[in-house]
Amino acid sequence: MVASGRVTDYAIGPFAPSAIVRPSEADEVAAVLEWAHRNDVAVYPSGGRTLSHLGNTPTRPGIALDMTGLNRMVDFQPADLTVRVQAGITVGQLDSELGQDGKCVPLAPPLAHRATIGGTLATGISGPMRSAYGLPRDWLIGVSVVGADGTMSKAGGQVVKNVTGYDLNRLYTGSLGTLAVITEATFKIAPAPTAWAAIIAVFENNQAAVAACRDLLSQPFAPQALHVLSPPAARRLGDPNIPAGYGPVAIALIAGRPASVKRRVEDTALAWLDAASALHIEGEEAADLIELLADFPVSPENPPSVCVRMNTSPDALENLLAMDHHEIGEEAPGVVADAGFGGGRLMWWGDLSGENAVQVAERLRHVQSTAAGLGGDAIVETCPPAAKELIDVWGPAPSGMAIMRRIKQQFDPNNVLNPGRFIGGL
């Protein structure tokens, strides 16, 4: 059960684990956590490590719990539209297996070929199509978990209609593994799209792009997703179909059956006749663009040195695009805004190794304050380690912080799981 590999691969900030444990069954996970609880050893659950940089710096060293050994599909019921999988299976593997039957669980996290189901749920990360499909928790109907003391339990159920009891699924989803370790998950499934398309349009300015997006979203033929990229973000995305011109780029993503996709493309193209320029792509090219948008914040080829996830309403779209003046160092950010779902990301790619950490931290706090002024919040997903030490990457503590501390105390009284990494140092 002890894994081979370099401990530095599992490091979180300055902390490299003292050991790597790779269980292959849930009872082995339980044994590890029972031992850690008894010996007061911190445990850092790990999956595909695509978002291992997310969260505050840990407060103490410990061991890495590599969950990738639990990587099987446990049960698939096409007639009931459900699937149950172990937490270490990758999203890409699940997509491939369900796709053979024309089904899917529309999660689409960054680097889906590496991202595990457990990690996707723990981080609550979602993909570019979230305005149509929602968040991972919206597809989750049941989980099996191991608590911080090694106790195994279940929440939810194995069927779509399940409304009894407190919804622990939502509590575990997005808690960054600080309350329990997910070992299995049961999802609703949906028919997989068989056709893809995208309309890519350049507008003269933010106001024109916002007006066009709002008009399109009000139409019955609205796309499943709609994103707006500032010129610096469009240039960095790396898709040859994206014009890197003078104005913001709007991307309408369309998926479904061929006839429906064809009609939406035609209607969207007519609705955007006033764009400075527009083109449409179909099939594999469009699917590749969706994957590129999903991977953009953590792209291995061109990773940003700073990435801030903005959680704001769709009404704040113009304000979000206007945040392209928030310089860090000598660089303004690239902005990717989700016009349909709301929110988006600010990304800086400059070399900040020579920048003053205090100044970088101050700029990040200013971005978080601006997001709060828009009625939302901002999570610093990536930033230089020295700056991370000076901020809470999750932003100011929310009003329910006292309740969150009591929940953490109830679920993990010894502070074994991911200590210090979550909101308010939980």
Q: Digits of tens for pLDDT over the chain (426 positions)?
A: 655 568 888 998 888 999 999 999 999 999 999 999 999 999 999 999 999 999 999 999 999 999 999 999 999 998 899 999 999 999 999 999 999 999 999 999 999 999 999 999 999 999 999 999 999 999 999 999 999 999 999 987 666 555 455 688 999 999 999 999 999 999 999 999 999 999 999 999 999 999 999 999 999 989 999 999 999 999 999 888 887 667 899 999 999 999 999 999 999 888 888 888 889 999 999 999 999 999 999 988 889 999 999 999 999 999 999 998 888 888 889 999 999 999 999 999 988 888 899 999 999 999 999 999 999 999 999 999 999 999 999 999 888 899 999 999 999 999 999 999 999 999
Dihedral sign, CA of 308, 309, 314, 316?
Answer: negative
The two most distant CA atoms of the chain are separated, in Å, by 66
CA distances from 56 to 137, 236, 305, 401 (A): 23, 27, 16, 16
The number of angstroms, rounded, from the C-alpha of 311 to the middle of its chain's C-alpha atoms is 12
Contact in structure between 113 and 96 (CB atoms under 8 Å): no
Domains of the chain with CATH codes: 1-191 (3.30.465.10), 195-295 (3.30.70.3450), 303-388 (3.30.70)
Backbone angles phi, psi at 256, to 5 degrees: 150, -145
Contact in structure between 388 and 13 (CB atoms under 8 Å): yes
pTM, entire model:
0.93
Q: What does the H/E/C string look like for 318-348?
A: HHHHHHHHCCECCECCEEEEECCCCCEEEEE
Rounded to an integer, what distance in angstroms lies between the CA atom of residue 50 and that of residue 116? 9
Contact in structure between 314 and 292 (CB atoms under 8 Å): no
Which has the closest alpha carbon to 113: 130, 128, 87, 95?
A: 95
